Structure 1
Amino acid sequence: MRIVVTGCKGQLARSLLEQARGLPGTEVILIGRPQLDLTDPPTILAAIEPHRPDLVVSAAAFTAVDQAEGEPETAFAVNAFGAEAVAGAAASLGAPVLHVSTDYVFDGSKHGSYAEDDMPAPVSVYGASKLAGELAVAEANPRHVILRTGWVYSPFGKNFIKTILRLAGEREEIAVVADQWGNPTSALDLADAILGISAQLTRCGRDFVFGLYHLAGAGTTSRADLARHALSASRAEGGPWAHVRDVATSAFPTPARRPTNSSLSSAKFTAAFRWSMPPWQYSVECTVRRLVQSTSSETI
């Protein structure tokens, strides 16, 4: 099984590479700039084709939510047209594509978790560009899985968990919004799920598994309670800790609106692939433990 992943530095790309190590018969190949540039579609097929993938994971994206408000053309070039070109390249090579999307395609007004048949209504340029990407991917490659997720964190790159631990090392109290709700999702868990279902996606005659799915950490929480749990886990490992003060989203004005509730139901994915994500609390504790105990050069 040869899996080509767009993006070299992203949390999911790096998690896929790590989790594939030791899996017999599985090879993960990361492709990013300058070989593959999502704003330059002609480079995409040329970058992917030599690797003859069995599956293409479309993970690279323009994820700077606030920056996208001022750069809508770039956001759409990457998240819509670039994603379309990746899906089309996979189709031309006879490979399915797994495209990673976001909970930000919803406006956050629903009470309860969003299902795949709920109507998208993005409230930001980023969310709109990712929704456009979903539609383009589905059109470009019939053998597609579009995987919406949210609140992704990992030991890699920049993310909410690492920011909270860093701030806890600098101050005694941290103000965190308490009126945004979602599913904290470990990129390592996402990687395990993708690797776990990859054989089903590449098996001939399995067209019924293709389509749109939600996949996120099991359980819903607020940003503030997520921060508390991460800091409690950190303190248990001898790491930094700080008091969390609840504040409203309005206390931190940003160029882009965030959905108040972007929690996702993963029931359809579980039924189709017989795969369930761990409780978010467990996965947060695993990541925090690794960050606190890490002796690598990568700092929190």
Structure 2
Amino acid sequence: SRNMDRNKPLRLIGLSSTEPEKQTKLTLNHLCQLPAQCPIEKCISTVFKDDMLQHLAQRHFRSNVKKHLQVAFNGERCTLVFDVSQLIGTQTICLGVLLYGGVRGKHSQLPGEREFCYHNRLKEDSGLESLKDYLPIMVLVKRTTFLCWALVDRKMESQEDLNGKQSKDLKQVKHLDFSNDTHPKCSEESIKRCDSGQKNNDLKTTTEAEQEEIMDSDILIIWTQSAPCIRPLHVAMTVFNSTLSVGRSAMRCVANSGQMYTEIGGKDLPKDRHSLLITQQELKEICGAEHHLHLELILHEPLE
């Protein structure tokens, strides 16, 4: 019969008939043992995989630790509220820490208990000992310019892929060394002019409209970044105003989850698959005259 059999599965031309190679199932022993640099601005610490929660509590949230911690279960909402006007430009700020506990009501299913992640190494007098089996996930935000965001190759993979093989298509990003004499430097005259507040006649003063345009080029980047764990986590991120009338939502991956090696190095910007991007115009539409932004996060752990 010339009629198409609707029950017969379609075969896409050009695809191999062989089954795709199955990826190695990660265990805790596969995860990289090297410490990673803290992503929070001006912090020079390198942190081991099981010290992340203790580091955040001791170094960054010393005044009121529990105010910045929020237990998060699979599929349940967590909400943070922050003042956008208080964000310092080009600095990565940690809004808080989600403590992922798996499915609510199943204590034996806490991530540390089922070897989903390492136990948190906590000091005896920290008051956080009961949180040793939760997976800490930082909620990070950074205000930057669209130009800085556009120039970074955020789709470039880490030097080692999931199976530990060297990536073939890595491009080395070169940075100019301005301490080298081969590069031009500011003249002493220019430095003195800047120090004295004197304007350079060659430079045009920016108009208010131009300054407004520069401000409108700012963007807000929000992402989540966890301690290493053996399976990927997804997060639904939604930003909205106080009346829930205007918002923006996206489904993203939690950085470092389900990866053998750290995905984001130190102060690097997150990749597209991790981040929710909000332009200055969108912020105006969402916040209006207010500066407070509501951020809702829902973590999801896929079934094996």
TM-score (norm 1): 0.24
Higher relative contact order (CA 8 A, sep 6+): 2
Greater fraction of residues in helix = 1
